[in-house]
A and B are shown apart, each in its own frame.
Chain A
């Protein structure tokens, strides 16, 4: 069953998200251990030693990010949990918010302790309803139980948490856009330098971590870094919550141990492709990761190195399964419409480039494409590579280039024949 579990270790019930249930499965003991037995620096060292990587998409070593924050520098530090989960295909942080919110809160308390944070935030996308209510409920339970506020567990440690609701903007899932949104403004991402760990929220040292990333912290402290490293692979310790959707028989959230064979995951754990169709393509980790052909995907091991070697990445773990017969031109059209809609508009390449890409693909789909359009899309993607304020421009470019490269014939066909080679279909018939 997709390997060892670190997070999805209990059956989901009507009460598994409550404080009582969480305590019953050992909750808040890691916090006790951290506050009573460890110094803040020791917590960071343990997290670093575990080798845990970020689970929001960038896979940056968590301990290395934390270590930039200098303790006792006389200024406030902030921790922001990124629960914006806007990357299409991704819905795994939601599992934690709905079913194990206290795990996140305990982990945030431990992280706040390690980082000298007095005020922490969970930035949760505005559209989330149940995840928000569960999280907000857990926050109130935690405050009542004395896990937030002053003198936590009888120590000098004090911490507050604010659940900050977004209002409909994908770029607020970018760490600096998230911070600017918490400041009460438009979610405009920022240039680096300075790093957010030096000048972040209100220009103070700020750590932004994904929900799942933080959710791993309590376990690392409870059971130790060595225990964590025993799971997964040497370069990819631990597990990933994978959200799988699209043309798959059993969509949902699965915890996959790094190193697990992808084909096994798709065909055994998730029940295989709808209508027993062949796997045409796989978007591995949210639409901002490069698409893999079915053949490429089936040979992969689920870990960072394997996917990097294949020219893609694990991303946010948002896997989208694409069955044979799906029109890749229409798929790209949906993606480019999304990027165009979500571009914040600050920087030239993304602002003008996303609109241009969208207009070109719309024109191709309308039967007015020309062969140069493909080169043009590739050039626009190149113009967004490493030239933008945030990663959205690059991501859109990479995603576009990968689809054009691997499914070029479909685009050539549409341009030449003014229609899809696959009847423009995105659904598998009979399985909508």
Chain B
């Protein structure tokens, strides 16, 4: 460790750090576009330039992201020279940057906007037309690229070389005709981490097609959650409309829709990244829901169905339960506490990998495509589900059960969130809430526990599994 001074303030830093790293670690703000804590240092945007005092009087300036710290060094981040430099760099970056803010998705979370207002605020002094380039270039099926907005920071390129290792992006041509492009063999489409470049892009050059024009970011709030796509359990932010920005005139489903999903930085699990499956959580959570309790397919009130289920539970002699690996730790604990004694319980892995889905890699993706197998197995062991000849009640909680495997003569209680034709075959069907409608925790494959918060209200006709388990046990406890 050594000590340097930034704007007169003493700061401790590791010997091999740069001035920018030391500043970031100590909450001192120096603007940057191309630098990122997880990527190599290209030093190309030139906006992080700082001034270093020299006792002999010849102060010098250089980029902070590539400046090694030195004992006793005196760095100035807000001197006249630094301010003038930042203004000049911003002028140059904005020289050809189309002022698309009014129609650009990045507005409100754009580093260029923020720095312009903080450090410059000057009008353009150019009398010459801006250099034109491709807009709406299809970088992949998921990502659209606006080359005019691009400031050529190369974060996206470096991400594909250093993190996802798809080597799928590059910069073609040279000078101010340079263009970010994907490799021509389509490899970028197959990069399961491609969408991280959207977060990395400091401006609105790289945009998600699925989010394009959906909402202004300030209409949205980000709720912390956990991706259920695999047992890695990356923490994510689920973005949805703030109550004060709910649309009254249009389809009310807009107000309970997932606008987008982004990573929630997590040093213990996923760092700042998630895979594309996590971006597409709406595809999982916004499938048609089961909203109506049923008795052998006949719609009924939730209370009536619950009562019927309760009677089945009380009467069963050899009940078997298939417990959902999508259940939260809280739900699983409630099942264990209230029904675990009655049921021979097995953990069901609700989801199998889809055809063509990446199975496992060195980065985030894990083979078990369920979020809480670990949490479930901790309570219920890892034996594979098995029925006996005398199994007379099967409680299926969650998806992924093949009804053809049901033992003959067994009654069924099914708890599920999503509409499936098989739900009508159950003796009692109880619709339950999903992750985005409640609070809870998952335990990932390495034992790390992460929390999710509710985004949307649940329908009254749908039950919370945790409370249902208490309710179903009431008769049993009464009997005992």
Instruction: Say if the two chains contact directly (CB < 8 Å).
Output: yes
Q: Does B36 contact A (CB under 8 A)?
A: no
**Residue in B68, B128, B152, B173 whose beta carbon sits within 8 Å of that of A359 in the complex:** B128
B223: A residues at CB distance < 8 A: none
Q: Does B283 contact A (CB under 8 A)?
A: no
Q: What residues of chain B have their CB less than 8 Å away from a CB belonging to chain A?
A: 41-47, 49, 61, 63, 66, 68, 85, 88-89, 91-93, 95-96, 125-128, 131, 151-152, 154, 171, 173-178
**Residue in A343, A372, A382 whose beta carbon sits within 8 Å of that of B176 in the complex:** A343
B152: A residues at CB distance < 8 A: 345-346, 351
Seed contacts A191-B63, A349-B89, A373-B127; 13 additional CB < 8 Å A-B pairs = A186-B174, A191-B42, A347-B46, A348-B47, A348-B92, A351-B176, A352-B95, A352-B176, A356-B128, A383-B92, A386-B61, A387-B89, A389-B43
Looking at the assembled complex, report how far the CB atom of B178 sits from the nearest CB atom of chain A, in whole angstroms.
4
Q: A340-B175, A379-B88 are in contact. Are A363 and B44 (CB under 8 A)?
A: no
Could you tell me the distance between the alpha carbons of A169 and B173 in the complex, rounded to whole angstroms? Answer: 11
Could you tell me the distance between the alpha carbons of A360 and B66 in the complex, rounded to whole angstroms? Answer: 33
Contact A387 B46 (CB under 8 A): yes
Contact B45 A341 (CB under 8 A): no
Could you tell me the distance between the alpha carbons of A340 and B176 in the complex, rounded to whole angstroms? Answer: 8
B96: A residues at CB distance < 8 A: 352, 355
Could you tell me the distance between the alpha carbons of A363 and B96 in the complex, rounded to whole angstroms? Answer: 17
A169: B residues at CB distance < 8 A: 174
Q: A191-B41, A383-B92 are in contact. Are A344 and B174 (CB under 8 A)?
A: yes
Q: Does A214 contact B (CB under 8 A)?
A: no
Q: Does A237 contact B (CB under 8 A)?
A: no
Could you tell me the distance between the alpha carbons of A341 and B176 in the complex, rounded to whole angstroms? Answer: 9
Contact A376 B125 (CB under 8 A): yes
Could you tell me the distance between the alpha carbons of A133 and B89 in the complex, rounded to whole angstroms? Answer: 45
| 20 sampled A-B residue pairs with Cβ under 8 A | A169-B174, A191-B63, A341-B175, A342-B175, A348-B44, A348-B89, A348-B92, A349-B46, A352-B92, A352-B176, A356-B92, A359-B128, A372-B127, A373-B127, A376-B125, A379-B88, A382-B88, A387-B49, A387-B89, A389-B44
Looking at the assembled complex, report how far the CB atom of A345 sits from the nearest CB atom of chain B, in whole angstroms.
4
Could you tell me the distance between the alpha carbons of A169 and B125 in the complex, rounded to whole angstroms? Answer: 31
Most buried by B among A340, A376, A379, A387: A387
**Residue in A191, A354, A382 whose beta carbon sits within 8 Å of that of B175 in the complex:** A354
B154: A residues at CB distance < 8 A: 346
Looking at the assembled complex, report how far the CB atom of B378 sits from the nearest CB atom of chain A, in whole angstroms.
47
**Interface bits A206-233 vs B (CB < 8 Å: 1, else 0):** 0000000000000000000000000000
Contact B44 A346 (CB under 8 A): yes
Could you tell me the distance between the alpha carbons of A347 and B33 in the complex, rounded to whole angstroms? Answer: 12
Q: Does A388 contact B (CB under 8 A)?
A: yes
B68: A residues at CB distance < 8 A: 193
Looking at the assembled complex, report how far the CB atom of A284 sits from the nearest CB atom of chain B, in whole angstroms.
26
When A and B form their complex, which 4 residue pairs have the shortest distance between CB atoms, in order from nearest? A345-B178, A343-B175, A383-B88, A355-B176
Contacting B at CB under 8 A, from A386-426, are 386-389
Contact B128 A363 (CB under 8 A): yes
Q: Does A353 contact B (CB under 8 A)?
A: yes
Could you tell me the distance between the alpha carbons of A352 and B42 in the complex, rounded to whole angstroms? Answer: 17
Q: Does A370 contact B (CB under 8 A)?
A: yes
Q: Output the nearest chain B residue to A351 by Cβ-Cβ distance.
A: B176
Q: A352-B93, A352-B96 are in contact. Are A345 and B41 (CB under 8 A)?
A: no
Q: A193-B68, A363-B128, A387-B46 are in contact. Are A349 and B174 (CB under 8 A)?
A: no
Could you tell me the distance between the alpha carbons of A344 and B154 in the complex, rounded to whole angstroms? Answer: 13
Could you tell me the distance between the alpha carbons of A342 and B63 in the complex, rounded to whole angstroms? Answer: 23
Could you tell me the distance between the alpha carbons of A338 and B175 in the complex, rounded to whole angstroms? Answer: 11
A193: B residues at CB distance < 8 A: 66, 68
Most buried by A among B41, B44, B85, B91: B44
Could you tell me the distance between the alpha carbons of A356 and B93 in the complex, rounded to whole angstroms? Answer: 11
Main secondary structure on B side of the interface with A: loop
B91: A residues at CB distance < 8 A: 383
Could you tell me the distance between the alpha carbons of A345 and B88 in the complex, rounded to whole angstroms? Answer: 17
Could you tell me the distance between the alpha carbons of A372 and B176 in the complex, rounded to whole angstroms? Answer: 23
B151: A residues at CB distance < 8 A: 348
Looking at the assembled complex, report how far the CB atom of B445 sits from the nearest CB atom of chain A, in whole angstroms.
36
B44: A residues at CB distance < 8 A: 346-348, 389
Contact A349 B176 (CB under 8 A): no
Q: Output the nearest chain B residue to A370 by Cβ-Cβ distance.
A: B127
Could you tell me the distance between the alpha carbons of A193 and B41 in the complex, rounded to whole angstroms? Answer: 11
Could you tell me the distance between the alpha carbons of A383 and B125 in the complex, rounded to whole angstroms? Answer: 14
Could you tell me the distance between the alpha carbons of A353 and B92 in the complex, rounded to whole angstroms? Answer: 7
Q: A191-B41, A386-B61, A388-B46 are in contact. Are A351 and B175 (CB under 8 A)?
A: yes
Looking at the assembled complex, report how far the CB atom of A184 sits from the nearest CB atom of chain B, in whole angstroms.
14
Q: Output the nearest chain B residue to A386 by Cβ-Cβ distance.
A: B61
Q: Output the nearest chain A residue to B88 by Cβ-Cβ distance.
A: A383
Could you tell me the distance between the alpha carbons of A387 and B64 in the complex, rounded to whole angstroms? Answer: 12
Q: A345-B152, A345-B176 are in contact. Are A355 and B46 (CB under 8 A)?
A: no
A191: B residues at CB distance < 8 A: 41-43, 63, 66
Could you tell me the distance between the alpha carbons of A340 and B173 in the complex, rounded to whole angstroms? Answer: 13
Looking at the assembled complex, report how far the CB atom of A172 sits from the nearest CB atom of chain B, in whole angstroms.
11
Could you tell me the distance between the alpha carbons of A208 and B42 in the complex, rounded to whole angstroms? Answer: 22
Q: Output the nearest chain B residue to A343 by Cβ-Cβ distance.
A: B175
Contact B93 A345 (CB under 8 A): no
Q: Output the nearest chain B residue to A383 by Cβ-Cβ distance.
A: B88
A380: B residues at CB distance < 8 A: 92
Q: Output the nearest chain A residue to B125 by Cβ-Cβ distance.
A: A376
Looking at the assembled complex, report how far the CB atom of A93 sits from the nearest CB atom of chain B, in whole angstroms.
24
Q: Output the nearest chain B residue to A355 by Cβ-Cβ distance.
A: B176
Could you tell me the distance between the alpha carbons of A280 and B352 in the complex, rounded to whole angstroms? Answer: 81
Looking at the assembled complex, report how far the CB atom of B434 sits from the nearest CB atom of chain A, in whole angstroms.
46
Looking at the assembled complex, report how far the CB atom of B85 sits from the nearest CB atom of chain A, in whole angstroms.
7
Could you tell me the distance between the alpha carbons of A373 and B45 in the complex, rounded to whole angstroms? Answer: 25
Contact B173 A345 (CB under 8 A): yes
Looking at the assembled complex, report how far the CB atom of B415 sits from the nearest CB atom of chain A, in whole angstroms.
57
Looking at the assembled complex, report how far the CB atom of B146 sits from the nearest CB atom of chain A, in whole angstroms.
17
**Interface bits A173-199 vs B (CB < 8 Å: 1, else 0):** 000000000000010000101000000
Could you tell me the distance between the alpha carbons of A372 and B44 in the complex, rounded to whole angstroms? Answer: 29
Could you tell me the distance between the alpha carbons of A388 and B66 in the complex, rounded to whole angstroms? Answer: 13
Looking at the assembled complex, report how far the CB atom of B125 sits from the nearest CB atom of chain A, in whole angstroms.
7
Contact B92 A363 (CB under 8 A): no
A340: B residues at CB distance < 8 A: 175-176
Could you tell me the distance between the alpha carbons of A347 and B91 in the complex, rounded to whole angstroms? Answer: 14
Could you tell me the distance between the alpha carbons of A352 and B174 in the complex, rounded to whole angstroms? Answer: 11
Q: A359-B128, A387-B46 are in contact. Are A348 and B63 (CB under 8 A)?
A: no
Could you tell me the distance between the alpha carbons of A373 and B41 in the complex, rounded to whole angstroms? Answer: 35
Q: A356-B126, A386-B61 are in contact. Are A345 and B171 (CB under 8 A)?
A: yes
Contact A346 B88 (CB under 8 A): no
Q: Output the nearest chain B residue to A187 by Cβ-Cβ distance.
A: B174
Contact A348 B178 (CB under 8 A): no
